[in-house]
C-alpha cells in the first residue's frame, strides 16, 4: 500500500509558509468560489460548553476545484488567560478531496489570524480609495495584529494608529507593528484620535457595543469589521451601517451571526436588502465595489471555513516547496 504522509506545521511554520500577499490572493479566490457556489460550506457547528464565556466551533468546508476539504476546530475560552493559556486556540486538518487522505495538520490560531487579516486586505484592495494611506486599528489582540500588515500589502500605508481599551496593549502593539512594518504607528488615547484622518478602519475587538462614534469617521472611509460574530455583539454604530455600502463575507453567515447588521435590522434602521453584496461577487466582477470618493464602505466579516481551507492549502504548498514542518507517517 502507498505510504501516507501527513505534514505538521507549528504556528511559526504556518506564518513562514503563508506570507500576507499570498494569503490575500488566497482569500480573494476563496470568496470568489464561495459566492460562485463552487464550494460546499456547511454552517459552522457550535457546541455549548460548560463555561458561560466559552465557545467551541467546528468549521468544515470542501472546494472540489481545488481538490481540498478540511475542518478547523476553534475554541474560545474566556478564563484561559488566568491559566496562562491563549483565549483562542485552533487546529486545522486538511484533506485531499480526491482520495480522502489527510494531508496536513497545522496550528489554526496562526492560520486564523493571518487569514482574518488577509480577508480585510482583500476587501480593502477592492473597496478602499486607491490613495488610502492612513489606518486606524481598534483592538490589540491576535486578530488586530494582522490587520495593518494586510492593509499595507494592498495600499501604500504611511501611518497608523491603534486604539484599545487597554492602553498598555495598544502601546505594545503599536511598537511591535512599527518595528515589523517600518511605519510610524502610534497608540491613540481615544477612538476619535485614532480615527482622525483615517482612510481605512479595522475593528478587531471583543467589544459588545460600538467602538467609535459615527461622527468621527472621515468621508470616504473604508471599514473592515471583523470582531462581531454573535447576533447581540457589535462594533460598528448603526448609523455608520445605515449610510455605508455594506459588503459581507457570506450572506447566510452574516444574517445569522453579524450583530453589526442584525442589531440595526432589529432596530428598523436597515432591511436585509441594505446588504449590497457578498465580497466574492465583487472579486468576480459581478458587482461594483466603491463608486465614489466620499462613499463609506463596510466589509463585515464573521469568518467562514473556506478561508481556512484556502489559507491552509496555500500554506501546505509553500511548506512542501520549502521543506517546512514535520512529516509524519500515518
Ligand X SMILES: NC(=O)c1ccc[n+]([C@@H]2O[C@H](COP(=O)([O-])OP(=O)(O)OC[C@H]3O[C@@H](n4cnc5c(N)ncnc54)[C@H](O)[C@@H]3O)[C@@H](O)[C@H]2O)c1
Q: Please report how close the Cβ of residue 300 comes to ligand X at its closest, in angstroms.
A: 9
* Residues 16-75 close enough to bind ligand X by CB under 6 A: none
Pinpoint the alpha helices (H) of 64-166: 108-127, 142-154
Q: Is residue 138 a contact point for ligand X (CB under 6 A)?
A: yes
Report the DSSP pairing between strands 245-248 and 200-203.
unpaired
Select from 117, 142, 259, 280 the one that contacts ligand X (CB under 6 A): 142
Choosing from 33, 152, 205, 297, the residue that interacts with ligand X (CB under 6 A) is: 205
Choose the binding region for ligand X from 20-28, 34-42, 201-209, 309-317 (rule: CB under 6 A). Answer: 201-209
Matching residue, cell 506564518: 15
Angle between helices 20-35 and 108-127 (to 10 degrees): 80
Segment contacting ligand X by CB under 6 A, of 96-104, 126-134, 281-289, 296-304? 296-304
Candidates 70, 117, 141, 237; binder of ligand X (CB under 6 A) is: 141
Told to check if 144 binds ligand X by CB under 6 A, we report yes
Taking the complex as a whole, the smallest distance from the CB of residue 212 to ligand X amounts, in Å, to 8
Q: Which is nearer to ligand X, 103 or 140 (CB)?
A: 140
Using CB under 6 A, pick the residue from 71, 88, 114, 157 that binds ligand X: 88
Nearer to ligand X, 22 or 55 (CB): 55
| Region 168-187 residues binding ligand X, contact defined as CB under 6 A | 169
Is residue 164 a contact point for ligand X (CB under 6 A)?
yes
| Residue 111 near ligand X by CB under 6 A | no
Q: How far apart are CA 124 and CA 77, in angstroms?
A: 30
Beta pairing partners, 275: 246
Stretch that binds ligand X, among 9-17, 37-45, 284-292, 298-306 (CB under 6 A): 298-306
Does position 279 interact with ligand X (CB under 6 A)? The reply is: no
Stretch of residues binding ligand X (CB under 6 A), selected from 24-32, 129-137, 203-211, 313-321: 203-211
CA atoms of 3 and 29, how far apart (whole Å): 32
Sign of CA dihedral 248, 250, 252, 255: negative
User: Is residue 119 a contact partner of residue 27, using CB atoms and an 8 Å limit?
Assistant: yes
**Stretch of 6-14, 35-43, 125-133, 198-206 lying at the interface with ligand X (CB under 6 A):** 198-206
Alpha carbons 208 and 229: distance in angstroms, whole number: 10
**In 3D, which of 200, 196, 217, 185 has the Cα closest to residue 132?**
200
Cα distances (Å, whole numbers) of residue 2 to 95, 101, 116, 317, 320: 16, 11, 36, 21, 19
CA dihedral of residues 151, 154, 155, 161 (deg, nearest 10): 10
Name which of 124 and 143 has its Cβ closer to ligand X. Answer: 143
| 242 lines the binding site for ligand X (CB under 6 A) | no
Question: What is the Cα–Cα distance from 307 to 305, expressed in whole angstroms?
Answer: 5
In whole angstroms, the minimum distance from the beta carbon of 169 to ligand X comes to 5
CA distance 243 to 297: 9
List 31, 163, 299, 310, residue binding ligand X (CB under 6 A): 163
Distance in angstroms (rounded) separating the CA atoms of residues 127 and 6: 38
Stretch near ligand X under the rule CB under 6 A, chosen from 25-33, 159-167, 262-270, 272-280: 159-167
Residues of the shown chain interacting with ligand X in the complex, contacts defined by CB under 6 A? 87-88, 112, 116, 138-144, 163-166, 169, 204-207, 211, 226-227, 229, 301-303
Amino acid at each position: 500500500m502507498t505510504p501516507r504522509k501527513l505534514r505538521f506545521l507549528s504556528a511559526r511554520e504556518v506564518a513562514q509558509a503563508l506570507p500576507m500577499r499570498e494569503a490575500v490572493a488566497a482569500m480573494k479566490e476563496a470568496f470568489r468560489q464561495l459566492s460562485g457556489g463552487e464550494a460546499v460550506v456547511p454552517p459552522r457547528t457550535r457546541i455549548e460548553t460548560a463555561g458561560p464565556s466559552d465557545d467551541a466551533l467546528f468549521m468544515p468546508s470542501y472546494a472540489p476545484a481545488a481538490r481540498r476539504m478540511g475542518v478547523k476546530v476553534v475554541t474560545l475560552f474566556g478564563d484561559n488567560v488566568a491559566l496562562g493559556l491563549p483565549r483562542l486556540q485552533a487546529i486545522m486538518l486538511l484533506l485531499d478531496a480526491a482520495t480522502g487522505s489527510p494531508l496536513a495538520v497545522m496550528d489554526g490560531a496562526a492560520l486564523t489570524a493571518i487569514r482574518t487579516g488577509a480577508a480585510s486586505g482583500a476587501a480593502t484592495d477592492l473597496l478602499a480609495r486607491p490613495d488610502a494611506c492612513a489606518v486606524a486599528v481598534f483592538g490589540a489582540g491576535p486578530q488586530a495584529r494582522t490587520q495593518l500588515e494586510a492593509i499595507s500589502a494592498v495600499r501604500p500605508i504611511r501611518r497608523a494608529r491603534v486604539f484599545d481599551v487597554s492602553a498598555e496593549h495598544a502601546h505594545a502593539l503599536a511598537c511591535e507593528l512599527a518595528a515589523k512594518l517600518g511605519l510610524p504607528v502610534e497608540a491613540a488615547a481615544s477612538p476619535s484620535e485614532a480615527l482622525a484622518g483615517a482612510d481605512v478602519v479595522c475593528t478587531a475587538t471583543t467589544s459588545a457595543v460600538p467602538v467609535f462614534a459615527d461622527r468621527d469617521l472621515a468621508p470616504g472611509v473604508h471599514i473592515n469589521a471583523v470582531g462581531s460574530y454573535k447576533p447581540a455583539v457589535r462594533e460598528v454604530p448603526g448609523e455608520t451601517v445605515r449610510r455605508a455600502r455594506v459588503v459581507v463575507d457570506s450572506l447566510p453567515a452574516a444574517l445569522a451571526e453579524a450583530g453589526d447588521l442584525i442589531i440595526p435590522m432589529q432596530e428598523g434602521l436597515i432591511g436585509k436588502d441594505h446588504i449590497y453584496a457578498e465580497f466574492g461577487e465583487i472579486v468576480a466582477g459581478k458587482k461594483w465595489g466603491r463608486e465614489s470618493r466620499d462613499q463609506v464602505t463596510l466589509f463585515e466579516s464573521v469568518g467562514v471555513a473556506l478561508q481556512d481551507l484556502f489559507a491552509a492549502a496555500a500554506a501546505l504548498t509553500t511548506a512542501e516547496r520549502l521543506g517546512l514542518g514535520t512529516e509524519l507517517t500515518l
